[in-house]
Structure 1
Amino acid sequence: MENQGRQAERAQSGEETSTLTFEGGAYLDGRASDPSLLGWMQGSPPPANKQISFENGRSLNFPEIRWSLSHMRELVPTVAVRRGNGAPHVFVTLSATDAAAVAALEFTDLNGRRRRFDEALTDTYTDGIVVLHRGRLIFERYFGALQPHLPHACFSVTKSYAGTLAACLVHEGVLDDGELIPHFLPELRRSAWGSATLRQVMDMQTGLNYTEDEADDQSSSSSYMRACRTRPRPVGYDGPQTSYDYLGTVRKEGTHGQVFAYKSVNTQVLAWVMARVTGRSFADLLHERLWAPLGCEEEGYLLVDPAGVPSASGGFCVSLRDLARFGELIRREGEWDGKQIIPAPVLEDIRRGEKHPADGAPSRSSDYSYRSQWWISHDEFDAVEARGIHGQRLYIAPGAEMVVARFGSQPVASAAFIDPIIMPQMLALGRSLCG
């Protein structure tokens, strides 16, 4: 951790930390085959030497991000989520013919353009993708810096891990989701969460004076990241020093329980509640309840704040296959190798959701709802999704017996650029597997 902290200091002070060279200009210059996807990049020349240099804390800028997201541990302090001591679970892999069929699958995106499955991966800045059908690996691709053994940043996919753990604790009676947050955390009595229930936090139905906009350096989310030190602090910074410090400064706006409002700080409150009640950190709970029982191949890790508190709102980094294992566990109703890791009623409650339009739902769909930190699609396959900025996605479709795990590094955070491709892409793949 000392070495990682030094690297972060060097990045913030303006020292160059590394220079890397990639083969293939298309990977780095950000040019998709459909230039309308990111029109603001048109006319921008590709880097002549195809190199990435890390200077001035630019690790999440394009094109540096295409390396950084699978090397976060080398840039910021982290804590490990250990895998189990036994042999890892191994996927049955189908033939090259099956993979070729997936690659050649054609579909029409929401803009009316006809596409091939594999070509769409380039247009959506995919770093890696795994497709499971009935638990078997039928398609797997990696691009650029990502490799099968490397953990990649999940961003807000992390929230769905946290929500699943919390829902399990509620089912077990360890947590009461009807209790107010100060029942668990008296420290937040005077904050926005002083009159919010745990369930309102789990379902993002709190009224907070908090803006969620990673692109705006003056937004609340940017201030929160400075407190966590995942965003550089300016000279003379005297704001909150840790994530918990920041949570105490958030004030109420509006009425809890009335509307859905996606705010990442809710998830950090949720993880704090779990840690307080169980005496186990978020990293420990992930290891004990998911990583070891699932037989994950690789050690995962979580970004931590200056006090060593793991980021539950967006700090998890995992390998692509291990993300797919989590998705397959959800598809299997929580059962794995003869053991019920997640109680089936927990997943039934999540999938049911509340059928109402959610402000901030995936673009071009008003049918999504949100439950226990999961996006509920209510689509033809009863799919649930975990979603993260810059293109992270876990799509679990019980009706098609399919799981798709995807990592990306698109230049902008919002999914508005890629949803018109990815959403019909998933539906077309599910239909082909059902045919």
Structure 2
Amino acid sequence: MIRKTLVPFLLLWSSAHALDMKDLENAARYSETHRGSALLVLQDGREVYARAQNGFLLERTHFLASGSKSFSCAIAVALQAEGKLNLDEPVIQTLTEWKIDPQKASITARQLLGFTSGLPGFIGPSLVQLNRDMYGAALNAPLQFPPGEHYTYGNAHLAVFGALIERKTGQDAAVYLQKRVLDPIGVQAVWQRDQSGHPNLAGSASMTARGWAKYGQLILQKGQWEGKTILPAKTLEACFQGSSALSAYGLTWWLNVPFQGTLDEGDEVPVGISRVAGNQQQIAPSAPKNLVMAAGAFNQRLYILPDEKLVVVRFGEGGEWSDETFLKLLLGK
């Protein structure tokens, strides 16, 4: 049970203010009336709210869409702990075919994970099964920008990252993630793959709500689980550092700070972000600044709020969504 698994770690921390059931119900009602499928909330490691909505079943897996992206930083952190990866190493040390391109030769793993490699955002058909070889297409794609200068959202960066992991470990990136990170916390991810068998790390995982919540709890606990270090806390911090190209995007995680950088009008961002002073954008201006979020199409959300010791999973099927409105209801603001 989640309670037995998670409480021992959180007893070492100060207890957060308990959520009000009325606020939970208000947040759940907002989710349900906006085509929600499920809402699950952990506080202090305990499941305090779990509801299936609109005919969904909590025991079923649900497509995470771009919520899948956040697993890639965990892969990088795990590999660093094993001495097999440095975020700032030029990836040509492993992807040697890029040595002939002077610009690609400077791209680092950090830039791939922060979407600042200069690659185009998207390559291939949006349905992963229609792609013959996503990794090959991304490796062969010409750069659109000099590395490190511009943020572009999409699947190309993580397709190259997936190729990097395969070369470094001899393993499929999703298989490595499962064995190294997810198996130790007792959860399973299912991935859609292209015709060459490559998982689309940018958007093809499915999990149960409880499974995704446990992954969020691992992140909230700074990589600690049942007395063991799954992901070193110091290295994990890099996942939540924005870049000069986009302050609100870390390494595959969204950050709750004003959007500053090279985000263009047509660039993709999570649906429902708010406008704040100076015409800047922010995930949820009224929520704590240290909120981090994994977000996917059709309003899949994994919110982690360290100040409140909260992990929140929300599954949905599209429609309108406001992170600001939902979190204000949840926190009773």
> TM-score normalized by structure 2?
0.78
Deviation at 1:186, TM superposition (A): 2.3
SS at match of 2:295: strand
Label 1:387 to 1:190 Cα distance change in 2 as closer, same or farther (>3 A).
Answer: farther
Deviation at 1:372, TM superposition (A): 1.8
Letter of the 1:402 partner, please give it.
L
Quote the Cα distance in structure 2 between the aligned partners of 1:399 and 1:381.
10
1:385 matches 2:273? no
Write the mapping of 1:335-346 to structure 2, written as runs, cut at 5 A.
335-346=224-235
1:272 matches 2:168? no
Letter of the 2:256 partner, please give it.
S
Query: Is the 1:381–1:397 Cα contact (8 Å) retained in structure 2?
Result: no
Aligned partner (choices 234, 239, 253) of residue 374 of structure 1: 253
1:225 matches 2:118? no
In the alignment, what sits opposite 1:418?
Answer: 321
In the alignment, what sits opposite 1:257?
Answer: 148
Label 1:355 to 1:179 Cα distance change in 2 as closer, same or farther (>3 A).
Answer: closer
Write the mapping of 1:179-194 to structure 2, written as runs, cut at 5 A.
179-189=89-99, 193-194=104-105
Deviation at 1:249, TM superposition (A): 3.3
Write the mapping of 1:262-411 to structure 2, written as runs, cut at 5 A.
262-296=153-187, 299-351=188-240, 353-354=241-242, 358=246, 369-378=248-257, 380=288, 382-411=290-319
Over the matched positions of the two proteins, sequence identity in percent amounts to: 24
Quote the Cα distance in structure 2 between the aligned partners of 1:248 and 1:349.
25
In the alignment, what sits opposite 2:281?
Answer: none
Label 1:147 to 1:183 Cα distance change in 2 as closer, same or farther (>3 A).
Answer: same
Query: Is the 1:98–1:139 Cα contact (8 Å) retained in structure 2?
Result: no
Query: Is the 1:402–1:430 Cα contact (8 Å) retained in structure 2?
Result: no
Query: Is the 2:37–2:315 Cα contact (8 Å) retained in structure 1?
Result: yes
Write the mapping of 1:63-82 to structure 2, written as runs, cut at 5 A.
none
Query: Is the 2:27–2:329 Cα contact (8 Å) retained in structure 1?
Result: no
Quote the Cα distance in structure 1 between the aligned partners of 2:125 and 2:156.
8
Deviation at 1:261, TM superposition (A): 2.1
Write the mapping of 1:142-181 to structure 2, written as runs, cut at 5 A.
142-181=52-91
Label 1:426 to 1:357 Cα distance change in 2 as closer, same or farther (>3 A).
Answer: farther
Deviation at 1:194, TM superposition (A): 4.2
In the alignment, what sits opposite 1:197?
Answer: 108
Deviation at 1:229, TM superposition (A): 2.6
SS at match of 1:347: helix
Query: Is the 1:131–1:140 Cα contact (8 Å) retained in structure 2?
Result: yes
Letter of the 1:304 partner, please give it.
R
SS at match of 2:298: helix
SS at match of 2:179: helix
Query: Is the 2:218–2:225 Cα contact (8 Å) retained in structure 1?
Result: yes
Quote the Cα distance in structure 2 between the aligned partners of 1:381 and 1:354.
13
Letter of the 1:373 partner, please give it.
T
Label 1:314 to 1:186 Cα distance change in 2 as closer, same or farther (>3 A).
Answer: same
Quote the Cα distance in structure 2 between the aligned partners of 1:408 and 1:346.
32
Label 1:381 to 1:429 Cα distance change in 2 as closer, same or farther (>3 A).
Answer: farther
Q: Which runs of 5+ in 1 are unaligned?
A: 1-88, 105-115, 213-219, 231-239, 359-367, 412-416
Deviation at 1:125, TM superposition (A): 1.7
In the alignment, what sits opposite 2:273?
Answer: none
Deviation at 1:157, TM superposition (A): 1.3
Greater RCO (Cα-Cα under 8 Å, separation 6 or more): 2
Deviation at 1:428, TM superposition (A): 4.5
RMSD: 2.7
Deviation at 1:189, TM superposition (A): 4.5
Deviation at 1:146, TM superposition (A): 2.6
In the alignment, what sits opposite 2:39?
Answer: 129
Deviations 1:26-64 (A, max 9, x none): xxxxxxxxxxxxxxxxxxxxxxxxxxxxxxxxxxxxxxx
When Rg is computed on C-alpha atoms for both structures, the one with the higher figure is: 1
In the alignment, what sits opposite 1:101?
Answer: 22
Query: Is the 2:63–2:205 Cα contact (8 Å) retained in structure 1?
Result: yes
Quote the Cα distance in structure 1 between the aligned partners of 2:300 and 2:327.
14
Query: Is the 1:224–1:243 Cα contact (8 Å) retained in structure 2?
Result: no
Deviations 1:193-213 (A, max 9, x none): 4442221111111223x3x5x
In the alignment, what sits opposite 2:138?
Answer: 247
Label 1:254 to 1:345 Cα distance change in 2 as closer, same or farther (>3 A).
Answer: same
Q: Which runs of 5+ in 2 are unaligned?
A: 7-17, 258-286
Deviation at 1:371, TM superposition (A): 1.9
SS at match of 1:269: helix
Label 1:399 to 1:431 Cα distance change in 2 as closer, same or farther (>3 A).
Answer: farther
Deviation at 1:374, TM superposition (A): 1.0
Quote the Cα distance in structure 2 between the aligned partners of 1:402 and 1:142.
19
